[in-house]
């Protein structure tokens, strides 16, 4: 549903859908499943379990999605002043959905997170401990930005440093997801390969999703392709292409290594990952011939595809090999 068709007179369900389409679209949730599946299966394998689909997988995934939705509602509160000034066209800023509604959604999401975690844990156990680690690391970053607004504004102006702030959640989140697959048995040190993979992927996705607006040159729109006085503020057109292509190749190398660590590497899987890695390389070469913001956008989309396709290949390799 287009946000432009939603009005204050529209049913609340449609206004909420408009908000979701804008800030937490269904394609984002679908894209989260392969990466969560890989982490869950990884946790099963490194603790000697048979890799496969279980009820815990789907309950855990619901908790994972709920956590990211909760973070979205917190971010919309944290960024309210900036968004009110620069994005008046958004559903929230138009008053079609209110901050009170977001608080309710955030509370419901938190209950789903806790309920899903305690279900997989069968009470309070290793999964719950890693969730606590996420709260301490990720929410501490958000709390600091809310409590001391000047820090949030300072980071917002330095987009590259802001991108680094997403790593705590994805790093600890990788262990949380893997622990769901492992169950009551603590995940061993091999999980650090997954942490490294998710951390690099977090930077890749963060930069890729904010380098896709070649038609919008407003300075207030976060886009890493815009020129800036310092790399901490923006990567520039060529810098973004180089960084994205490098991160995509880094993700591929880590996927190779992580599959090998759990002895789930197969020739077809390595070949598929290698071919997929050529997508951003090809897009970068085309950009090099004719540097444009549209060309940089193509690199960002190709780089993000490396992660999505790679995780699907990774999951199939785990399920069919060994």
Q: What is the CATH number of domain 189-322?
A: 1.20.120
Alpha helices per DSSP H over the chain: 12-23, 26-46, 55-78, 80-86, 99-121, 126-147, 149-157, 159-164, 167-182, 191-209, 236-261, 267-289, 293-320
> What is the pTM assigned to this prediction?
0.92
Contacts of 171 (CB under 8 A, 6+ apart): 137, 195, 198, 199, 202
Contacts of 246 (CB under 8 A, 6+ apart): none
Tokens in use for 152? 């949030």
The pLDDT value recorded for residue 230 is 81
pLDDT tens across the length of the chain (322 residues): 444 578 888 899 999 999 999 999 998 899 999 999 999 999 999 999 999 999 999 999 999 999 999 999 988 988 888 788 888 889 999 999 999 999 999 999 999 999 999 999 999 999 999 999 998 887 777 777 777 877 877 887 788 888 888 888 899 999 999 999 999 999 999 999 999 999 999 999 999 988 866 666 666 667 788 777 787 888 888 999 999 999 999 999 999 999 999 999 889 999 999 999 999 999 999 999 999 888 999 999 999 999 999 999 999 999 998 6
Q: Which CATH architecture has domain 1-188?
A: Orthogonal Bundle (1.10)
Contacts of 98 (CB under 8 A, 6+ apart): 92
Report the residue count for the chain. 322
Domain locations in the chain as residue ranges: 1-188, 189-322
What are the distances in angstroms from CA 129 to CA 40, 206, 241, 268? Answer: 16, 26, 38, 37
The pLDDT value recorded for residue 81 is 82
In the chain, the N- to C-terminal Cα span, in Å, equals 44
């Amino acid at each position: 549903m287009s946000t432009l068709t939603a009005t204050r007179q529209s049913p609340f369900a449609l206004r909420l859908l408009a908000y979701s389409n804008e800030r937490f679209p269904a394609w984002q949730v679908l894209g989260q499943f392969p990466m969560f599946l890989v982490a869950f299966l990884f946790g099963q394998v490194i603790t000697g379990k048979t890799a496969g689909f279980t009820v815990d997988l789907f309950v855990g995934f619901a908790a994972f999605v709920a956590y990211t939705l909760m973070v979205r509602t917190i971010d919309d509160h944290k960024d309210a002043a900036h968004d009110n000034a620069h994005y008046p066209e958004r559903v929230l800023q138009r008053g079609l959905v209110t901050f009170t509604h977001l608080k309710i959604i955030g509370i419901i999401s938190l209950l789903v997170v806790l309920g899903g975690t305690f279900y997989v844990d069968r009470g309070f156990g290793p999964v719950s401990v890693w969730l606590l680690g996420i709260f301490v690391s990720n929410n501490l970053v958000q709390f600091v930005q809310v409590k001391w607004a000047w820090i949030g504004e300072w980071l917002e102006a330095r987009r590259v440093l802001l991108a680094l702030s997403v790593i705590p959640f994805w790093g600890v989140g990788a262990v949380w997801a893997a622990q769901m697959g492992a169950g009551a048995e603590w995940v061993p040190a091999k999980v650090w390969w997954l942490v490294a993979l998710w951390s690099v992927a977090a930077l890749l996705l963060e930069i890729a999703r904010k380098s896709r607006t070649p038609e919008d040159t407003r300075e207030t729109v976060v886009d890493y392709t815009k020129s800036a006085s310092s790399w901490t503020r923006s990567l520039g057109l060529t810098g973004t292409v180089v960084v994205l292509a490098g991160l995509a190749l880094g993700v591929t190398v880590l996927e190779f290594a992580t599959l090998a660590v759990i002895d789930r590497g197969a020739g077809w899987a390595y070949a598929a990952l290698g071919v997929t890695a050529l997508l951003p390389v090809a897009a970068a070469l085309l950009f090099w011939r004719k540097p444009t913001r549209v060309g940089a956008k193509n690199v960002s989309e190709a780089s993000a595809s490396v992660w999505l396709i790679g995780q699907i290949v990774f999951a199939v390799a785990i399920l069919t090999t060994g």
